[in-house]
Amino acid sequence: MKSKIRVLLKLIIFVIIIAIIIFINKLTQSHTEKDVAEIIKRLGVSNLVSGNGNLYVDGTNLKNMYHENFQLKGISSHGIQWYYDLLTKDNLTYLRDVWGINVFRIAMYTNENGYISNPTEIKQKAYNLIDMCIDLDLYVIIDWHTLSDNDPNMYIEEAKAFFEETSLKYQNVPNLIYEICNEPNQGSVTWSNQIKPYAEEIIPIIRNNSKDSVILVGTPTWCVNLNDPTNEPLDFNNIMYTFHFYAGTHKSESRNTITKALENGLPVFISEWGTTDISGNSGFDAESTMDWIHFMDENNLSWINWSFSNKDEDSAILTSEYSNETLQEGLTIDNYISESGNLVRQFINTKKYNPLYEY
């Protein structure tokens, strides 16, 4: 009898000890993770996903996991049906480490020989790029780049299937931000009748799989009309409304539009801007670009510059002499940055976030 009690006591003590070990282990483990995140944050060495986590929208501001205002600054690809080959891991690493971008936008055109005419191949390219960005700890925007298909409802069935599959594949991945249509345009495409109903179909599909993702929604007339969304906003959280400007064309009047929208509580995201006029190929305007940069910094607006390509046009970041092969001849990508590219790179804060790089 006595020995039975002794065995039982030993057993109880054993179980208690195990429980204590597990408890202490858990405690120190969660501490370590928290400490590491704290250190990253305090040193300010990471403007990347590991340092900021799942972003969310609070009022008109984008915030990081520490509830601080957070700005995404990065570059957009050109159409990946044309310029996919430029998007090597080396080049994205260069943009991250030398220029200091924390986000990359994948412009997946729907028309112009893009997704609609070649879904399997284009989707694979987009997924490869998303994976690359995740690997590089970058935020990444998958942009359903409607353009000549001016009404996003034109390919809504394809959009539904794409966003269903993608949000399932990348379920709750903090890197990924969804831009559900690029630039709705033409006078007949309005917020109330086309864009809002489209968004109301697509957003629940994404949310069903990835409930905390930030979703960007295009606005009328190539993303310059914030008035209608302000009057009739979407009834979802973590939504931002896109505004696009081309510095040679859009100036203080456009900034007033944004200021008014912000004052009325509309969260705005500059998911595309260029240093040129709206054609993307003339009117390179450094002065207007500076005005915009100041404005965006003052208002905690995230921005994406158009575009990472070597197309012979002024808004391209690379000169047309660039090709991946030229890099093998001892030159670096720095030898092929265009006038526009050299302007834009100054505005991405490399020093603050990448103390290893002296610029």
Find out whether 219 and 233 touch, Cβ atoms under 8 Å.
Answer: no
| Omega cis (within 30) before 307 | yes
311 near ligand DCB, rule: CB under 6 A: yes
Show Cβ contacts of residue 328 under 8 Å, excluding neighbours closer than 6 positions. Answer: none
315 near ligand DCB, rule: CB under 6 A: yes
313 counts as catalytic: no
In angstroms, rounded to a whole number, what is the distance separating the alpha carbons of residues 127 and 133?
10
Q: Which of residues 61-120 bind ligand DCB (CB under 6 A)?
A: 112
Which one of 53-61, 129-137, 305-313, 334-342 is the stretch in contact with ligand DCB (CB under 6 A)? 305-313
Show Cβ contacts of residue 227 under 8 Å, excluding neighbours closer than 6 positions. Answer: 257, 260, 261
Q: Which residue number, 247 or 266, has a Cβ lying nearer to ligand DCB?
A: 247
∠ CA 165-167-172 to the nearest 5 degrees? Answer: 150
Q: Which one of 182, 225, 254, 289 is in contact with ligand DCB (CB under 6 A)?
A: 182
Which one of 113-121, 159-167, 232-240, 307-315 is the stretch in contact with ligand DCB (CB under 6 A)? 307-315
CB of 241 to ligand DCB, least distance (A): 16
Residue 303 bridge partners (DSSP)? 73, 270
51 near ligand DCB, rule: CB under 6 A: no
Long-range CB contacts for residues 222-227, cutoff 8 Å, separation at least 24: 222/183, 222/184, 222/185, 222/278, 223/182, 223/183, 223/184, 223/271, 223/272, 224/250, 224/254, 224/257, 225/191, 225/257, 226/257, 226/258, 226/260, 226/261, 226/266, 226/268, 227/257, 227/260, 227/261
> Count of residues binding ligand DCB (CB under 6 A)?
14
128 near ligand DCB, rule: CB under 6 A: no
Q: Which one of 149, 179, 183, 314 is in contact with ligand DCB (CB under 6 A)?
A: 183
280 near ligand DCB, rule: CB under 6 A: yes
∠ CA 79-84-86 to the nearest 5 degrees? Answer: 115
∠ CA 117-161-124 to the nearest 5 degrees? Answer: 55
40 near ligand DCB, rule: CB under 6 A: no
Q: Which of 183, 325, 329, 339 does the annotation list as catalytic?
A: 183
Listed in sequence order, the DSSP H helices in 170-216 are: 196-209
Q: Which residue number, 242 or 350, has a Cβ lying nearer to ligand DCB?
A: 242
Q: Which residue number, 32 or 148, has a Cβ lying nearer to ligand DCB?
A: 148
Q: Which residue number, 311 or 345, has a Cβ lying nearer to ligand DCB?
A: 311
Q: Which residue number, 104 or 353, has a Cβ lying nearer to ligand DCB?
A: 104
Question: Of all residues in this chain, which one has the CB nearest to ligand DCB in the complex?
Answer: 280
**DSSP helix/strand/coil, 305:** strand
Q: Which residue number, 61 or 315, has a Cβ lying nearer to ligand DCB?
A: 315
Q: Which one of 91, 190, 279, 319 is in contact with ligand DCB (CB under 6 A)?
A: 279
278 near ligand DCB, rule: CB under 6 A: yes
Q: Which of residues 189-228 bind ligand DCB (CB under 6 A)?
A: 222
In this structure, what are the phi and psi dihedrals at residue 176, rounded to the nearest 5 degrees?
Answer: -90, 130
112 counts as catalytic: no
Q: Which residues are catalytic?
A: 183, 272
Contact set with ligand DCB (CB under 6 A):
112, 147, 182-183, 222, 272, 274, 278-280, 306, 311, 313, 315
